Structure 1
Amino acid sequence: MRHDLSIPEAVADPLIGQLRRADGISDQAFAKLLLAAADAYRASAILKIHHRRADVFYRTIGAGSLEAPVRSRVPEWSVQGAISEW
């Protein structure tokens, strides 16, 4: 059975501690790094869930998906009151 270390376990692990000390990284800096990585991973996972839910919503209403290529619009320029496509 695979067991991932918690942040306190990783900070307290003797082998990781030797590597950190060799690299000159303090316990606090290492813990902050792990917390920042966990936050970034969590934010990425939440964003993926939001995209998946939005994609399902748009498919349900028949509007396609978020992953479909977006057609670029040609900008419209107004020249002395006349509109022309560029």
Structure 2
Amino acid sequence: MEHELTLKELTADPLILMVMRADGVAEDSLQDLMKQVAETEVSRLQLQMHQTRADEFYARLDESLAHNTKSFRRNG
């Protein structure tokens, strides 16, 4: 398979449909679950990205303050 299945392709696959029917899973339930998982994953990744950016910002700020303090001590 060259690409991941979309939700539409997944629910159109005859084998998947047979398994869903055997397990008593409705297509709407699967779609709702997949949407919830996607939203949770997007939120997690956004939080991780914000945390990484904040960590990088404060690391640069610390370096800048340390450099400025050394310069001030030499000149002061």
Partner of 2:14: 14
> What secondary structure is seen at the aligned counterpart in 1 of 2:62?
coil
Q: Supply the RMSD in Å over aligned alpha carbons.
A: 1.6
Matches within 5 A, 1:1-86: 2-62=2-62
CA deviation after TM superposition for structure 1 residue 22, in Å: 0.8
Runs of 4+ in 1 over 3 A off after TM superposition: none
Q: Could you list the runs of 5+ residues in structure 1 that have no partner in the other structure?
A: 64-86
- Residue by residue over 1:17-61, the C-alpha shift from the partner in whole angstroms, topping out at 9 and shown as x without a partner, is 111111101111111111111111111111111111011011011
Which whole-Å CA distance do the structure 1 matches of 2:18 and 2:8 have between them? 16
- Give the gaps of 5 or more residues in structure 2: 64-76
Cα distance in structure 1, aligned partners of 2:37 and 2:14? 21
* C-alpha distance in structure 2 between counterparts of 1:10 and 1:42, whole Å: 21
TM-score, with structure 2 as normaliser:
0.73
Offset of 1:2 from its aligned partner? 3.5
User: How far apart in 2 are the matches of 1:18 and 1:62?
Assistant: 59
- Between the two proteins, the alignment pairs up a number of residues equal to 63
- What TM-score, normalized to structure 1? 0.66
What letter corresponds to residue 62 of structure 1 in structure 2?
D
- Structure (1 or 2) with the greater helix fraction: 2
